[in-house]
């Protein structure tokens, strides 16, 4: 997994996590070290001792701009790195004024477990994680989406406004804060099970179990794929609207398999192989355009 100037590799036996960092003094964060110290670009194995002496195996790993997430075999998420916008999910941020004992100002230096995810079904195990610029997301083994971190342009969808029968008083929906420092369930998908999620710089794309894709957050450079701005060379005005997730049109009957988000772009995989003739089973003119 790569984001920014860090590359994390999870081995096939799920036992080791190796990281590679750029040799820029302020570009990367090393587990258990001063984030401002000089770094080297060789691969470095992350010791299980960084996880509190537990000899763990891991199922998933994600790297954000300056924070990291891993899932162990028990379905627990561990996080470390920058915490200024709550992206580690431990309740610490520049707004809380609280810091862990092993953390310098704004940084969680060592892996720290995030409390289990709780829903009306009970406790759910983490299954997939994604880390964006200053944002984190996790899908549980029941397909529930939890998110936390920066929310300045609606990366975390607003609460769902439940329709009430006529005549009953309506309770105002409290908008989501600009920083969410603990995992929060995304209500928009409460009736859907998700299988994949990807966080970009400040946008998010998720796929449900039927292969339908949804996107939300910033639409700068047309990264959400909802309008003709995806074909423009110049970026459209940067939207500050905190809109709910919207379906990505043009993939009906195809199904999206995988998604990847860069800082300002999105990639979707619908099939494997060439498409001339269309052996992938899709039209050559499906919108958004193929790259």
| Distance separating alpha carbons of residues 29 and 125, to the nearest angstrom | 27
With respect to residue 279, please indicate whether it lies within any of the assigned structural domains.
Answer: no
CA angle (243 as vertex; 167, 141 as ends), nearest 5:
95
In a domain, 172, yes or no: no
Is residue 221 a part of any domain in this protein?
A: yes
Question: Is the CB of residue 186 less than 8 Å from the CB of residue 143?
Answer: no
Q: Per the structure block, which two tokens stand in for 91?
A: 């309740």
The residue among 56, 59, 34 whose CA lies nearest residue 46 is 56
- Complete DSSP assignment for 93-146: -TTT----TT--TTEEEEEEEPPPEEETTEEE-EEEEEE-SSEEEEEETTS-EE
Strands of the chain (E only): list them.
2-3, 6-10, 17-21, 44-45, 58-63, 67-72, 77-82, 107-113, 117-119, 122-124, 126-131, 135-140, 145-150, 179-185, 194-199, 203-208, 213-217, 246-247, 258-261, 266-269
> Is 285 contained in some domain?
no
State how far the Cα of 23 lies from the Cα of 28, in Å rounded to an integer.
8
Q: Which pair of structure tokens corresponds to residue 252?
A: 């009906």
Q: How many domains does the chain have?
A: 1
Question: Is residue 137 a part of any domain in this protein?
Answer: yes
What CATH number is attached to the domain comprising 250? 2.130.10.30
216 within domain boundaries: yes
Closest CA to 248 of 289, 291, 201, 192: 289
- DSSP secondary structure string for all residues of 192-223: S-EEEEEE-SSEEEEEETTS-EEEEE--GGGT
- Answer whether residue 284 is part of any domain: no
Low-confidence ranges of the chain (pLDDT < 50): 20-41, 99-103, 164, 168-172, 228-240, 285-287, 289-291
Q: What is the pLDDT of residue 253?
A: 78
Contact 276, 268 (CB under 8 A): no
Structure tokens at 157: 């969808």
pLDDT in tens, 261-271: 999 999 999 87
pLDDT at res. 226: 82
Question: Which domain does 185 fall in, by range?
Answer: 2-161+179-269
Whole-prediction pTM value? 0.76
Residue 20 lies in a domain: yes
pLDDT of residue 77: 96
């Amino acid at each position: 997994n790569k984001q920014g100037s860090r590359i994390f590799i999870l081995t096939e036996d799920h036992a080791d996590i190796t990281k590679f960092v750029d040799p820029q003094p302020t570009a990367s964060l090393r587990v258990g070290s001063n984030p401002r110290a000089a770094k080297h670009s060789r691969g470095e194995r992350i010791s299980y001792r960084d996880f509190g002496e537990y000899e763990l195996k891991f199922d998933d790993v994600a790297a954000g701009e300056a924070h990291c997430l891993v899932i162990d075999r028990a379905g627990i998420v561990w996080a470390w790195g920058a915490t200024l916008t709550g992206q580690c999910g431990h309740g610490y941020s520049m707004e809380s004024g609280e810091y862990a004992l092993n953390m310098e100002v704004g940084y969680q230096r060592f892996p720290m477990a995030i409390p289990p995810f709780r829903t009306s079904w009970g406790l759910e195990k983490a299954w997939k994680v994604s880390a964006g610029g200053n944002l984190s997301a996790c899908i549980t083994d029941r397909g529930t989406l939890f998110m936390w971190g920066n929310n300045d342009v609606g990366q975390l969808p607003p609460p769902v406004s439940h329709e009430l029968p006529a005549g009953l008083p309506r309770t105002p929906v409290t908008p989501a804060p600009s920083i969410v420092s603990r995992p929060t369930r995304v209500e928009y998908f409460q009736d859907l099970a998700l299988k994949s999620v990807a966080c970009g710089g400040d946008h998010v794309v998720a796929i449900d179990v039927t292969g339908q894709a949804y996107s939300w957050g910033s639409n700068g450079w047309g990264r959400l794929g909802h309008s003709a701005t995806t074909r423009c060379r110049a970026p459209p005005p940067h939207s500050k609207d905190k809109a709910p997730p919207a379906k990505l049109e043009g993939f009906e009957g195809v199904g999206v398999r995988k998604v990847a988000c860069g800082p300002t772009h999105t990639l979707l995989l619908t099939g494997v192989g060439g498409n001339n003739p269309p052996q992938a089973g899709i039209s050559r003119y499906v919108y958004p355009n193929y790259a």
